[in-house]
Structure 1
């Protein structure tokens, strides 16, 4: 009997030529990301309904000047957002994936503001609560926007998550979280 042999194949990346001096590109912006997990006393459906209601963002989301969905087909949609504060007011469009009650994902497309913008909300049920995983990552096309964003970004992201939580409270009533241990539902 011939013994079986296992082979693992590794791909070796091409080596790049390193230089003695490297200079930062002043026109290139860095990618920025933020993640937050929050437990809310709402159902995943309720949280999903608030996050998926892009047309209402302009009423409760700070720095949102206008928001609307202009094309919706099944779980896919396109949205327009106008955000900012003077003198920085920008617009961008997003391709959205809406899978009720567990996922809202938005990817900015074809605009001059963002090189990349991915926003993702994942909702899952735990006891009579909802665990919300919020992730946002982006890279501006302009290094000026990037530099300004790095100064304020953490506060802006926290404010944004808080605005969605307050919107849930406005629509469904305030429901504080008890300090019991949370175990996933089956």
Structure 2
């Protein structure tokens, strides 16, 4: 088993009229024991009553994320294609404020994969939606996987991922239900 050791040095200078000391203290932290560097993963499979096209559209409607997704303060589609979208998002919470680009690839009307790599805060961020038609409902398989560059944030998110994943998933479910009440012309908006 390999143990990575982080070495840090603290310098303390004491000066007064009588003496001048340079005190150094070295300490180590065993990274593998205290700091987890694994990916943070959340997965949920759920059945909901919603039109498949409508839910698919809700995920692709990135311009509206700023209105319903937790921590998203700005969202804009920057490029549109028949198989993918590119978007710029800004997330903000008490720890950070970050803008990053996402690539949203999709196979209408079943699969959406969102990815962002090597941003200021994320090593990677991957979100996947698989939508299947069932009798009187749809099945959603929601998956999110990310790794943060800051180890302290990473450890915090390890504790908070179940709550965050649930908030994200139910934000999309509630938005899709809201869209169904508006009689949104889904096919027109997807193409």
Provide the TM-score with structure 2 as the length reference.
Answer: 0.74
2:31 maps to 1:24: yes
- Residue 27 of structure 1 deviates from its aligned partner by 7.8
SS in 2 for 1:151: helix
Which residue number corresponds to residue 45 of structure 2? 37
Aligned with residue 126 of structure 1, among 134, 138, 144: 134
Where do 5+ consecutive residues of structure 2 fail to align? 5-29, 182-191
Match of 1:7 in 2: none
Aligned counterparts, 1:19-168, within 5 A:
23-24=30-31, 29-168=37-176
Q: Deviations over 1:64-90 (max 9, x none)?
A: 101111012221221111112234222
Higher relative contact order (CA 8 A, sep 6+): 1
- The structure with the largest helix share of the pair is 2
Q: Measure, in 2, the Cα distance between the counterparts of 1:27 and 1:157.
A: 22
- Mapped partners of 2:107, 2:64: distance in 1: 19
Distance 2:69 2:118 in 1: 23
The count of residues paired between Structure 1 and Structure 2 equals: 155
- Point out the structure with the larger strand share: 2
Task: Give the CA deviation at 1:45.
Answer: 0.8
**What SS is found at the alignment partner of 1:101?**
coil
Q: Distance in 2 between matches of 1:41 and 1:100?
A: 19
Q: Deviations over 1:119-155 (max 9, x none)?
A: 0011010013110000001111111220221222211
- 1:171 is paired with a residue whose SS is helix
Could you say what the CA RMSD is over the residues aligned between the two structures, in angstroms? Answer: 1.9
